[in-house]
Amino acid sequence: MNLAAKLESTLGAECVFQSTTLNVDGCRPVVTVAPKTYEEVAEVLRFADIEGLKVLPFGTGTRLHIGNIPKKIDIALSTARLNQVISYEPADLTAIAEAGVPLVDFFARTSANGQWLPVDPPGKGSTLGGVIATNAFGPLRTFYGTPRDYVIGLKIVAADGTLIKTGGRVVKNVAGYDLNKLFIGSFGTLGVIVETAFKLRPVPESESTCLITSRSIEPLAAVANQVFKSQLLPISTLLTDSRALKVCDVPTGEAKWGLLVRFGDNRKSIDYQVHKLNELVAEPNSIFQILDYSTASRLWQAIADFEDVFASEVTLRINTLPNRSAEMATAAGSHLKKSGMSSASIVHTSSGVVHLYIKSASENDAMTRRVLAMIEQLRAKVGDFGSLIIERAPLAIKQQVDVWGQPRGTAALMRGIKEKFDPKATLIPGRYVAGI
């Protein structure tokens, strides 16, 4: 079968590409398509489902490195041409947009009215569909949560070409099951997201970023815990090692760790919160400073793009209890110091997410074995209170370990959902948790 010719007869030659640089862990699609309408997306999936072909949905590909090695890719389905903001109602703080709209373009549209979708995922050029499909988040999670918290409705094309609608166009929509949550963060394994309805938030009037540095992590972790329990409302709270701050061009002197606390509100509220934060810093060897706006802006942008800025070869995400996050970062740092690999750590103290960025991990077989041993040890330390996900790794590591870790008690349920929505495993089989 001439796959490209068959798809060209449905979509038109301008939407089908045989030459592609797309490579997902050594798997290359036979052909890439870029449908212009939801019905064209449905036609591609119907065809693939009938013919037993495997489809990889993607936006700009900023998160394609996450997941296990795909079993097979025949068709890569790009949402790039689904790039229209369908409706925007500033008075209601709601908007509906197609999946291929770049997040930066969506922000430009809504910020003109002092509104935004408050998510800051890693990766330049992320599309709305990609952000939702991976539930990608950044430092703003501290106050605003994840993309999951802002989706009020979806349109999804299922593996057999059926168009599914979930939720609605209004914020208060409580009838029936919340099927939105089923597709958000499913990495395209249950259906192709083609349209999303969002609720929005007002953009803060002003911002201030405070940096507290110390030679040890314990006093900063204590301050972060006090902030979490206090009435302060930072929009971002991150604990970072000095290597991460230096990569972001923020000097730390002899300090080994830094705590970043970012406030967003009106000026009077921010000044009050900054003052109260300063009062919480009891450790005499800790240094408190307020970063100027230019430095803070560069810093947060560098943190958003940190994986690329640091040129990370292996990126690990540890999900643990917030009060164990500093402990996990310290344990990981100890393993990495012994291994001789260059690394940096960024800890979301309010949610218990620890990101580890590692270089020199693929220099030789010995380094690969050390990384695998460290992953095994850290997973044992996390235990039943969390998980360790390998977000980025060379093929040599992915071939020897499941990036999601051992499936837990929900594995059977997840496989059942996959069987219901995609019985022929048309959508990127093997990539997600439990091999679905």
98-126 exposure pattern, b = at least 16 Cβ within 10 A, e = fewer: bbbbbbeebbeebeeeebbbbbbbbbeeb
Cα 424 to chain centroid distance, Å, stands at 28
Give every CB contact of residue 207 below 8 A, 6+ residues apart in sequence: 235, 262, 263, 264, 270, 293, 296
Distances (CA, A) of 175 to 92, 178, 366: 20, 8, 55
* Residue 223 to residue 210: CA distance in whole angstroms: 12
Specify burial of residue 174 (Cβ count, 10 A radius: 0-12, 13-18, 19+).
exposed
Among 186, 187, 166, 169, residue whose Cα is nearest residue 177: 166
Neighbouring C-beta atoms of residue 299, cutoff 10 Å: 21
CB 112 within 8 A of CB 217: no
Segment holding 298, helix H or strand E: helix 293-304
DSSP bridge pairs for 211: 260, 289
CB 403 within 8 A of CB 389: yes
The domain 1-203+406-436 is classified under which CATH number: 3.30.465.10, 3.40.50.300, 3.40.50.11740, 3.40.50.2300? 3.30.465.10
* Residue 347 to residue 260: CA distance in whole angstroms: 10
Domain range annotation of the chain: 1-203+406-436, 206-293, 306-398
pTM: 0.94
Largest CA distance in the chain: 73
pLDDT tens for the chain, residues 1 to 436: 689 899 999 899 999 998 778 999 999 999 999 999 999 999 999 999 999 999 999 999 999 999 999 999 999 999 999 999 999 999 999 999 999 999 999 999 999 999 999 999 998 789 999 999 999 999 999 999 999 999 999 999 999 999 999 987 665 555 556 789 999 999 999 999 999 999 999 999 999 999 999 999 999 999 999 999 999 999 999 999 999 999 998 888 889 999 999 999 999 999 999 999 999 998 788 999 999 999 999 999 999 999 999 999 999 999 999 999 999 999 888 888 777 788 999 999 999 999 999 987 666 788 888 899 999 999 999 988 899 999 999 999 999 999 999 887 788 889 999 999 999 999 999 999 988 9
CATH for the stretch 306-398 = 3.30.70
- In this structure, what are the phi and psi dihedrals at residue 314, rounded to the nearest 5 degrees? -130, 130
* Side-chain-side CA neighbours of residue 158 (13 Å): 15
- In this structure, what are the phi and psi dihedrals at residue 240, rounded to the nearest 5 degrees? -130, 150
Say if strands 257-265 and 236-241 run parallel, antiparallel, or are unpaired: antiparallel
Q: pLDDT value at position 167?
A: 83
> 388 is written with which tokens?
């360790």
On the question of a common fold for 1-203+406-436 and 306-398, the answer reads no
The Cα angle at residue 49 between residues 44 and 53, in degrees rounded to 5: 85
Q: pLDDT value at position 171?
A: 58
* Residue located via tokens 């947009």: 97
Fold designation for 206-293 = Alpha-Beta Plaits (3.30.70)
Q: pLDDT value at position 341?
A: 82
Q: pLDDT value at position 169?
A: 65
CB 234 within 8 A of CB 204: no
Query: Residue type at 71?
Result: K
CB 199 within 8 A of CB 115: no
Report the first-to-last Cα separation within the chain, whole angstroms: 27
* Residue 20 to residue 29: CA distance in whole angstroms: 8
Q: pLDDT value at position 1?
A: 66
Among 137, 122, 130, 133, residue whose Cα is nearest residue 185: 133
DSSP codes of every residue in 162-175: -EEEEE-SSS---S
Q: pLDDT value at position 177?
A: 60
The Cα angle at residue 44 between residues 67 and 20, in degrees rounded to 5: 60
Say if strands 16-17 and 31-33 run parallel, antiparallel, or are unpaired: antiparallel
CB 299 within 8 A of CB 270: no
Q: For the chain, what is the radius of gyration of the CA atoms?
A: 22
CB 120 within 8 A of CB 110: no
DSSP codes of every residue in 56-84: EEESSSTTTTSSSPPS--SEEEE-TT---
